A and B are shown apart, each in its own frame.
Chain A
Amino acid sequence: MKIGAMFTDVVSSLFKKPVTEKYPHERYEVPKRFRGRLDWNAENCTGCGICAMDCPANAIEMIVIDKKEKRFVLQYHIDRCTFCAQCVHSCNHGCLVMRADDWELAALNRKFYTKWFGELSDVEYVLAESA
């Protein structure tokens, strides 16, 4: 039984640098597997829509304009996404990936949080249709 059992640790801390990370002035590297924002690569997409079905937060909407010509538009709600990466593993063709470099997703208005993936003409078509 001693009084002040943490004595050496406490006193030696006077001479050590604090461990606090001064974010955002110093940032440390995120690992490769970090789950940031979603990214969609349309090359292999077949429009099956399993990613949208399996998303626990309904953050993905797959809009099929023409299945045979492979014209798809993916609407991704960043504010609903829980970054669980289930869509990445549900997709049988490897079209989705979670980017480790884009994770600072704070914004000042809500428009930032709806992201449209697809050919520009297709996206405009969808937006015009819904208006």
Chain B
Amino acid sequence: MEIIRNLFVLLIFPGGLFLLAAGMFYEWVDRKLLSQYQNRIGPRWFQPLADAVKLLANEEVIPEGSNPTLFIVLPVVALAGGITAALYVPMAGFPPAFSFAGDLIVTIYLLSLLTLCMGLAGANTMNRFSLVGATRTLTQLFSYEAPFLLALLGPALAAGSWQISEISAYTTQRWLLFTQPLGFIVALIGLMGKLELPPFDAPEAETEIVAGALTEYSGRGLALFRLGKGVEMVVGLTLIAVFYLGGVSNPLYFLLKTLALLLVVAGLQALLARLRIDQTVGLWWRYGVLLVLVQWLFMIGGRMVL
């Protein structure tokens, strides 16, 4: 019985097929919102699905000078990391499939695994653009990770636990958006950095380094990386909705809250220009860390006073 339940959780819901479909749906909503902000018609609803199907049908070209095993394995590991991270998060309003003390750190680590895999994939080839892209990906990972982690640990501190299901039970009663606003801002913008959305898309800047770390990928590898990014977006949005917007206790709240966050994220994408990689690092290590430390000071001060 356990095995059937685990397989169901892994392959159908909340992992596997549901997550891939949700990832594609959120990618479509993001592109459609972005196009609406830019006053044009965006893609139709099946565009991410059509992209995935077409890419899976393409021939996968393994370039010379790269390690073939690593080339093929990295996208799979990235997607697997994303799907595994989703197992600990309350997906679609249902309680998390698996839960243990300290699973917040594991989830964040698994999300970073995806970015690491992309950086490694870029460093694997001899393509000049991939190398520059990989360097930028890893530099950006190094810059936003600390503030993002601290911003997510703020609610954990308030709830007094590092287990996502307990934090979720705590935040369902109160909206931490109002008591920890700075943390919310850093977490949301940190999510944009993690997903490499504009203004933090220097690692995959189309006009400078073609496609960054993923330049040499085609066919199945590229499809898996893109699905992984979609999954990462869903998991990240769910985490922020759980922590700051009062938990996701049923599917309707999940949809509404994550789509509201996506509206803000897409708006920020449309509004801001791309930052250079050194400006990104400067921004995060100056303002990002500052904001989150101020937030923590207030929080700890508040606890000591009350």
A16 within 8 A of B: yes
A20 within 8 A of B: yes
Let me know if A13 and B271 touch, CB within 8 A: no
Shortest beta-carbon distance from A82 to chain B in Å: 31
The answer for the CA separation of A85 and B36 in the assembled complex, in Å, is 40
The answer for the CA separation of A52 and B37 in the assembled complex, in Å, is 51
Report the interface size for chain A: residues with CB under 8 A from the other chain. Answer: 13
Chain B residue numbers with a CB within 8 Å of A18 are: 35-36, 39-41
Nearest residue, chain B, Cβ from A6: B271
Nearest residue, chain A, Cβ from B272: A4
B58 within 8 A of A: no
Let me know if A14 and B37 touch, CB within 8 A: yes
B38 within 8 A of A: yes
Give the dominant DSSP class at A's interface.
loop
Nearest residue, chain A, Cβ from B263: A14
Let me know if A10 and B271 touch, CB within 8 A: yes
Shortest beta-carbon distance from B70 to chain A in Å: 41
B93 within 8 A of A: no
B219 within 8 A of A: no
Shortest beta-carbon distance from A61 to chain B in Å: 44
The answer for the CA separation of A11 and B36 in the assembled complex, in Å, is 9
Chain B residue numbers with a CB within 8 Å of A22 are: 41
The answer for the CA separation of A20 and B41 in the assembled complex, in Å, is 6
A19 within 8 A of B: yes
Shortest beta-carbon distance from A55 to chain B in Å: 39
Let me know if B36 and A14 touch, CB within 8 A: yes
Chain B residue numbers with a CB within 8 Å of A28 are: none
Nearest residue, chain B, Cβ from A14: B36
Chain B residue numbers with a CB within 8 Å of A20 are: 40-41
B96 within 8 A of A: no
Let me know if B267 and A10 touch, CB within 8 A: yes
Identify the interface centre among B35, B37, B38, B39: most chain A CB within 10 Å of its CB. Answer: B39
Shortest beta-carbon distance from A10 to chain B in Å: 5
Q: Which parts of B36-83 form the interface with A (CB within 8 Å)?
A: 36-41
Chain A residue numbers with a CB within 8 Å of B41 are: 18, 20, 22
Q: Which parts of B264-305 form the interface with A (CB within 8 Å)?
A: 267, 270-272
The answer for the CA separation of A22 and B41 in the assembled complex, in Å, is 9
Shortest beta-carbon distance from B273 to chain A in Å: 10
Let me know if A10 and B40 touch, CB within 8 A: no
Let me know if B272 and A13 touch, CB within 8 A: no
Check A16/B272 contact, CB under 8 A, given A10-B267, A11-B267. no
Residues in B lying within 8 Å of A, measured CB to CB? 35-41, 267, 270-272
Q: Can you show 29 pairs from A to B with CB atoms below 8 A apart?
A: A3-B272, A4-B271, A4-B272, A6-B271, A7-B271, A10-B37, A10-B38, A10-B267, A10-B270, A10-B271, A11-B37, A11-B267, A13-B36, A13-B37, A13-B38, A13-B39, A14-B36, A14-B37, A16-B39, A18-B35, A18-B36, A18-B39, A18-B40, A18-B41, A19-B39, A19-B40, A20-B40, A20-B41, A22-B41
Residues in A lying within 8 Å of B, measured CB to CB? 3-4, 6-7, 10-11, 13-14, 16, 18-20, 22
Closest 3 CB pairs of A and B: A4-B271, A20-B41, A13-B39
